[in-house]
C-alpha cells in the first residue's frame, strides 16, 4: 500500500511537470535553456499554473475534486502541445529511448570529469541523499500542532479537500479554508491536489512536498550557472546551500518559506541572466517567476515586488534595462496576477503579516540590537551576510567592473534592505521572531552571488600578469 501511495505521489508531480516542460519549450524559441535547467524549472511553472487554475475554478463555483483537476491538466497539455505545433512545428513527447538517452548522457558527462571533480560530485550527492533521508524521517514524526495547524496551511488545505470547494463565505472562520485569510493559496492548493490524487488526507505523505522542493532548489541552483562555469565552484555552492534543511527547521515542515525562496531565486537568477545576455526567454521566465512568488506568500507581493521595482528603476537609469523590456516585464507579471490581485482587493485581504494591511513608519531603536543579533549572530546561514558585506567592502571595485556581479549584488542588497526595513522601520516589528525565517528567502540568491564572485575573483588572480 505504501508503494502504491509513493507511486501516486510521483505521478501527481509528473503530470504538472509535463505542462511546465512544454511551457518552457514554447518560451525557449532559440533553445538557449539547458536540459538540467528546464528539468528543475518545469515543476515550478507547471505546479504553479495548476494551483492557480484550481483557485480560478473554485472562485467560479466549481468543485475542487480530482476529475476537475485532471481535466485542467489535460487541457494544459493539449493547449501547450497545440501551440508548440502551430508556432514551432513540433510535438514534444517522452519515450523510454529518450529517457535512456538523457541518463546515458549524464553518466558519460560524469565519466568525463576529472578525478577530483568526480570525488566532489560523489560527496555532494551522498550528502544530499543523507539529508533527504533525514528530511523524510523528520516529516514522518513531525505532526501539525497548536497554531501551526493554521499557519503551516495544512488545515486550510484539509478543509478545502474535505469540503471539495474553496469556502467563499467571509462571515465564517473558514473563508478560503480558514486561518489567516490573506495568505496566497499556491501551497494550500498543491496539497489539495496531492490529497485528491491519493484519495485521502495523509499529513506525512503530503508534506513530502518540502523534500521535493529542497531537491528542486538544489538542482535549479546548480543549473542556473552558465554552461562553462567552473564545475568545482558549482559543486561547492550547491553543497553549502544543501545545509538549509539541517539548520532551519521550518524548511522541512509544511510552511511555504522554502517554496517562496525557490520562486524568488528563480525570478532573480532569470532576470540577472536576461540583463547579462539580453535573451528574451529569461525575461519571460522572470516575469512568470515574480507572479508565482507573490502567489506563494505575502512577502512576494509586498517585499519582492517592491525590491524588483526599485532594482528595475536603477537598472533603467544605468541603461542596463531598456524601457521596452521593463514595460514588458511588469505588464506580463501584472496581467497574469490580475485575477488574484482583483480577488484580494474585492475581499479586502491584507498584504502584510496576518490580515493587516495598515502599518506606520517608525524607527524601532529598541529592536536594533535584537535585529543585529538575529541577522549576524543567531540566524542560520548568518555567515553569508558577513561574507557578502566583507566582499562588498574589500572587493567593491572588482564587483563594479563585472556587469553580472554588479547587478547580482545590487539586487541582493536591495532585497536585504527592504526585507529588514519591515522590522526596523515599521510597527510590524512584533514579528521579529519570524525574521530569520524570512531571511531564508534570500539565502539561495546570496549564495549564488558569492559563488559567482569567487569564480570571477580567482579568474582575475589567475589571469593577472606577473611582474
What is the per-residue pLDDT across 261-304, written as a single tens digit (0 to 9) for each?
Answer: 999 999 999 999 999 999 999 999 999 999 999 999 888 888 99
pLDDT digits (tens, 9 = 90+) for 408-464: 999 999 999 998 887 777 766 555 566 777 888 899 999 999 999 999 988 766 555
**What pTM did the predictor assign?**
0.92
Whole-number percent of the chain with pLDDT over 70 = 85
CA dihedral 157, 334, 16, 270 (to 10 degrees): -120
C-alpha cell at 340: 488574484
- pLDDT tens across 350-386, in order? 776 555 556 666 666 777 777 787 778 776 677 888 8
DSSP state of 388: H
Mean pLDDT check: name the lowest of 106-120, 328-342, 405-419: 106-120
Question: What are the pLDDT digits (tens) for 441-453?
Answer: 899 999 999 999 9
Q: What is the pLDDT of residue 433?
A: 62
Q: Rounded to 5 degrees, what angle do the CA atoms 240, 241, 242 make?
A: 90
Q: What is the pLDDT of residue 180?
A: 79
Binned at pLDDT 50, 70 and 90, residue 343 comes out as very high
Burial 127-138 (b: 16+ CB within 10 A, else e): ebeebbeebeeb
pLDDT class for 1, splitting at 50, 70, 90? low
pLDDT of residue 305: 94
pLDDT per residue as tens digits for the range 256-268: 888 899 999 999 9
Q: What are phi and psi of 117, to 5 degrees?
A: -65, -40
pLDDT band, residue 247 (cuts 50/70/90): very low
Query: Which whole number is the average pLDDT over 192-208?
Result: 90
**Distances from the Cα of 41 to the Cα of 38, 48, 64, 162, 215, angstroms:** 5, 11, 26, 31, 11
* The pLDDT of residue 464: 53
Strand partners, 426: 361
Nearest-angstrom CA–CA distance, 259 and 191: 13
What is the pLDDT, as a whole number, of residue 40? 95
- The 3-state DSSP class for residue 426 equals strand
| Inter-residue long-range contacts of 270-275, CB under 8 Å, 24+ positions, other chains counted | 271/308, 271/329, 271/411, 272/404, 272/407, 272/408, 272/411, 273/224, 274/325, 275/315, 275/320, 275/321, 275/403, 275/404, 275/407
Grid coordinates representing 173? 472562520
pLDDT level of residue 307 (50, 70, 90 thresholds): very high
Q: 53-79 pLDDT, tens per residue?
A: 999 999 999 999 999 999 999 999 999
Higher pLDDT, 93 or 449: 449
Task: Give per-residue pLDDT as tens, 7-54.
Answer: 999 999 999 999 999 999 999 988 899 889 999 999 999 999 999 999
C-alpha pair distances (Å), 232 with each of 116, 138, 357, 398: 9, 31, 46, 21
pLDDT of residue 97: 63
Tell me the HSE value of 18 on the side-chain side, using a 13 A CA sphere: 20
Amino acid at each position: 500500500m505504501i508503494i502504491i501511495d509513493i507511486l501516486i505521489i510521483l505521478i501527481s508531480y509528473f503530470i504538472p511537470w509535463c505542462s511546465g516542460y512544454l511551457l518552457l519549450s514554447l518560451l525557449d524559441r532559440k533553445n538557449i535553456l539547458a536540459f538540467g535547467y528546464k528539468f528543475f524549472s518545469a515543476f515550478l511553472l507547471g505546479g504553479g499554473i495548476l494551483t492557480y487554475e484550481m483557485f480560478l475554478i473554485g472562485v467560479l463555483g466549481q468543485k475542487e475534486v480530482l476529475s476537475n483537476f485532471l481535466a485542467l491538466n489535460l487541457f494544459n497539455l493539449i493547449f501547450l502541445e497545440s501551440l508548440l505545433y502551430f508556432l514551432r512545428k513540433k510535438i514534444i513527447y517522452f519515450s523510454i529511448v529518450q529517457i535512456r538517452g538523457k541518463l546515458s548522457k549524464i553518466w558519460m558527462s560524469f565519466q568525463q570529469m576529472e578525478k577530483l571533480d568526480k570525488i566532489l560530485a560523489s560527496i555532494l550527492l551522498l550528502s544530499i541523499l543523507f539529508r533527504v533521508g533525514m528530511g523524510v524521517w523528520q516529516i514522518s514524526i513531525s505532526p501539525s500542532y497548536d497554531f501551526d495547524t493554521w499557519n503551516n496551511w495544512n488545515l486550510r488545505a484539509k478543509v478545502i479537500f474535505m469540503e471539495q470547494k474553496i469556502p467563499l463565505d467571509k462571515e465564517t472562520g473558514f473563508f478560503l479554508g480558514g486561518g489567516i485569510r490573506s495568505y496566497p493559496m499556491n501551497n494550500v492548493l498543491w496539497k489539495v491536489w496531492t490529497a485528491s490524487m491519493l484519495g485521502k488526507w495523509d499529513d506525512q505523505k503530503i508534506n513530502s512536498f518540502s523534500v521535493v522542493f529542497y531537491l528542486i532548489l538544489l538542482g535549479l541552483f546548480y543549473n542556473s550557472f552558465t554552461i562553462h562555469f567552473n564545475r568545482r565552484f558549482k559543486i561547492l555552492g550547491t553543497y553549502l546551500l544543501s545545509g538549509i534543511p539541517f539548520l532551519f527547521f521550518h524548511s522541512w515542515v509544511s510552511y511555504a518559506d522554502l517554496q517562496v525562496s525557490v520562486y524568488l531565486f528563480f525570478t532573480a537568477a532569470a532576470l540577472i541572466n536576461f540583463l547579462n545576455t539580453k535573451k528574451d526567454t529569461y525575461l519571460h521566465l522572470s516575469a512568470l517567476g515574480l507572479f508565482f512568488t507573490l502567489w506563494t506568500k505575502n512577502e512576494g507581493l509586498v517585499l519582492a515586488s517592491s525590491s524588483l521595482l526599485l532594482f528595475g528603476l536603477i537598472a533603467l537609469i544605468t541603461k542596463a534595462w531598456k524601457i521596452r523590456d521593463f514595460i514588458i516585464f511588469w505588464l506580463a507579471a501584472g496581467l497574469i496576477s490580475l485575477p488574484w490581485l482583483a480577488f484580494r482587493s474585492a475581499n479586502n485581504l491584507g498584504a502584510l503579516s496576518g490580515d493587516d494591511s495598515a502599518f506606520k513608519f517608525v524607527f524601532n531603536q529598541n529592536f536594533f540590537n535584537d535585529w543585529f543579533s538575529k541577522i549576524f549572530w543567531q540566524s542560520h546561514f548568518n555567515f553569508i551576510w558577513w561574507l557578502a558585506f566583507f566582499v562588498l567592502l574589500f572587493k567593491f571595485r572588482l564587483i563594479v567592473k563585472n556587469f553580472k556581479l554588479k547587478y547580482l549584488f545590487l539586487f541582493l542588497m536591495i532585497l536585504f534592505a527592504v526585507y529588514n526595513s519591515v522590522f526596523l522601520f515599521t510597527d510590524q516589528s512584533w514579528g521579529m521572531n519570524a525574521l530569520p525565517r524570512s531571511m531564508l528567502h534570500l539565502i539561495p540568491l546570496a549564495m549564488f552571488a558569492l559563488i559567482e564572485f569567487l569564480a570571477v575573483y580567482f579568474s582575475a588572480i589567475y589571469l593577472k600578469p606577473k611582474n
